[in-house]
Amino acid sequence: MLTIHQLSLTYADGTQALRNINLQLPSGMVGLLGPNGAGKSTLMRTLACLQTPDNGDIQFANIDVRKHPMDLRKQLGYLPQYFGVYPNMSCTALLQHMAILKGINDKTQQKQQIAALLELTNLTSVANKSVATFSGGMRQRFGIAQALLGDPTLLIMDEPTAGLDPAERQRLHALLVNISQDKLILLSTHIVEDIENLCPYVALINAGQIVESGPVQRLLTCLQDRVWQSHLKPRDTQQILSENYRFGLPHYRILATQQPCPSAVPVVATLQDRYFFELSQQANPHVAG
Ligand code: ADP
């Protein structure tokens, strides 16, 4: 269990990136969903002890994270959104280096873990190649391999599917589901589909605030029997949750207690509907929910 209490962070230029965040996250896969600029990366970096908040407490299992960041680091795997520049080292050599930084000093243990992680992330055939020459998808898989070194109990992944092709994305989903049994995996994304596929629990963040959190099913209850889909635009455009395209043709997701237009058919509410609902509420709080 990860508990976050009244966490706030303001950047030097005055941007309030986190505003009084309170969250209790269970183990398993948890999604942190929000638009670009919402504060996801800032929250992830703060949880990974790479940034110091102005206020607040973080508790993971029995660790008071702000007082004992080194205790957390031993249990933490972190995949940042950007890795920066890669040194000109082979994939294996870089993983060995990172294993030592994580305190895995036993050579046999190091070798076994690295071989297993290369296999898991489909990098065995390029183990001796320099990471600096890797494609975006390969770098992302390398990032995942290094995050899993030491079998962490808290895995923080900032946009893990960025740059992956559809097959790599599916493979990553399968990998995360397989390893999520006895861990807390916190996954940030603006891709609702990733969370719908993977996470039974979600937190929605916007403008530095948690606007809603809980089991996905519970978040959908308030929209039940109120979402419609139509290929024609409803007259009351304030009812539109989202406008999507399929094979180049528009269709509208609409929130209404009664059929909003003759072409509208009732549909099952999705997390995407809830996400757009929250964004519209934030932008226009007066619009009835
Ligand atoms: P997200 O990951 O959801 O896209 P971020 O955490 O990156 O959001 O950013 C949250 C807010 O903080 C944004 O307004 C962003 O412009 C701002 N921000 C992020 N990093 C910095 C920084 N180093 N200095 C000043 N503002 C920043």
Structural domain boundaries enclosing 263:
221-283
Pair 67, 189 in one domain: yes
Strand order in the sheet with 240-246: 240-246, 249-255, 227-230, 265-266
What number is the average pLDDT over the span 73-78?
93
Task: List, for residues 187-204, the tens digit of each pLDDT value.
Answer: 998 888 889 889 999 999
- Give the residue whose CA is nearest to atom 1 of ligand 1: 37
- Cα–Cα distance between 257 and 18 in angstroms, integer? 35
Domain for residue 173, yes or no?
Answer: no
State if residue 17 touches ligand 1 by the CB under 6 angstroms criterion: yes
Pair 71, 160 in one domain: yes
Pair 55, 4 in one domain: yes
Q: How far is CA 151 from CA 66, 74, 180, 236, 256, in A?
A: 22, 10, 11, 52, 47
- Cα–Cα distance between 107 and 145 in angstroms, integer? 18
Pair 160, 37 in one domain: yes
Pair 8, 22 in one domain: yes
What number is the average pLDDT over the span 95-108?
92
Pair 90, 116 in one domain: yes
Ramachandran class of 39: left when φ > 0, alpha when ψ lies in -120 to 50, beta otherwise: left
Residue 163 pLDDT > 80: no
What pLDDT is attached to residue 285?
A: 64
Pair 99, 229 in one domain: no
Pair 234, 109 in one domain: no
Pair 132, 162 in one domain: no
State if residue 82 touches ligand 1 by the CB under 6 angstroms criterion: no
Pair 66, 184 in one domain: yes
Ligand 1: atom nearest CA of 42 is 6
Among 44-48, 92-96, 173-177, 200-204, where is mean pLDDT lowest?
Answer: 173-177
Pair 62, 162 in one domain: yes
What pLDDT is attached to residue 264?
A: 96
Pair 122, 233 in one domain: no
What is the domain count for the chain? 3
Read off the tokens for 177: 């589901």
State if residue 99 touches ligand 1 by the CB under 6 angstroms criterion: no
* pLDDT grade for 210, boundaries at 50, 70 and 90: very high
- Give the residue whose CA is nearest to atom 15 of ligand 1: 37
Task: Indicate the top mutation candidate among 9, 10, 11, 33 to test ligand 1's pocket, ranked by most ligand atoms within 8 A of CB.
Answer: 11
In 3D, which of 151, 169, 197, 167 has the Cα closest to residue 31? 197
Adjacent-strand bridge partners of 253 = 229, 242
Domain for residue 144, yes or no?
Answer: yes
State if residue 34 touches ligand 1 by the CB under 6 angstroms criterion: yes
